[in-house]
Amino acid sequence: MSKKILITGCSSGFGLDAAKTLAQKGHHVYATMRAVDARNAAKAQELRDFAAAEGVSLSVHEMDVTSDESVQQAVREMDGVDVLITNAGYGYGGPVESFTADEFLAQLDLNIVGTARVANAVLPGMRAQSDGLIIQVSSTAGRAAFPGFGVYNASKWGLEGLSEAMRYELAPLGIDVVLVAPGPFETSFFENMKQGSRQEVMAAYGHVGEFFQGFEGTVRDLFANGEAPTDAHIVVDIFSQLIDMPHGKRPMRTIAGLDFGFQALTDASEPIRKGGLEALGVAEWDGPQG
């Protein structure tokens, strides 16, 4: 069945691929991004040209997920939303001490609060139709911490907690909330990663810099290995599979690609999570019933 799908962060990576792929599958896609008439004008036009050439239903909308006004204006341009994919985001890399409080807050605003802004804008419509799906794009960095990723870890761990609570709140209203946690993929993640402005403290953290460089090098070597699961389309296929699944069948968390063994962490914690819901008397709130 065709769905109306809002995707944030469509100027590159998972968002760009998902907008094209899901439109080709017969859905109407609202592809959103910042600066559609400026920095991302070429990407916005690429999507419009793709829609025209392929004869698919896809529209491009300006949306800055850190702005209430921008989010509300974009959603007003849309004729209802059945599925929301909160993909917009980027990472901050470096020792926690190297970031100012304002920089830390900016990371949280984008990766946590921004997802809630967009969800809050579409939820009235989903509640009115007693149906909907929200796919939150997290990260393996939301399952375990790494040196040099503390600020990013905080944003993704926060997104995990927010999304889990939303799942329980919205399931009785017919709305499903799920998490997709990609490992490293061939996107522009490292190129777009922002460093802290307090560079004067970096000399004390040479060990973190060495780890970070080594980790990035290892990941890039994996990107060059045709056998490693680093094709970004893997994540887009998961989006599509989750959309096609009926209520009652969608897992709360799906780890995609290189999982660093964290799939075992998820598998081990699931019985504990479900047991907690049983103890609280809300086991039936673990996603809408089929």
Return d(Cα 25, Cα 34) in angstroms, integer: 25
DSSP letter assigned to residue 109 = I
Sign of the CA dihedral with 92 first, then 261, 13, and 3 last: negative
Beta pairing, strands 175-182 & 28-33:
unpaired
Whole-angstrom CA distances from 119 to 6, 77, 127 are 10, 16, 11
DSSP H helices in 58-195: 68-76, 101-108, 114-129, 150-170, 189-192
Residue 152: active-site member: yes
Options 30, 90, 92, 152, the catalytic residue: 152
User: Are residues 86 and 139 in contact, defined by beta-carbon separation less than 8 angstroms?
Assistant: no
Three-state secondary-structure class, residue 174: coil
Does the CA dihedral 220-225-229-232 come out positive or negative? positive
| Residues designated as active site | 152
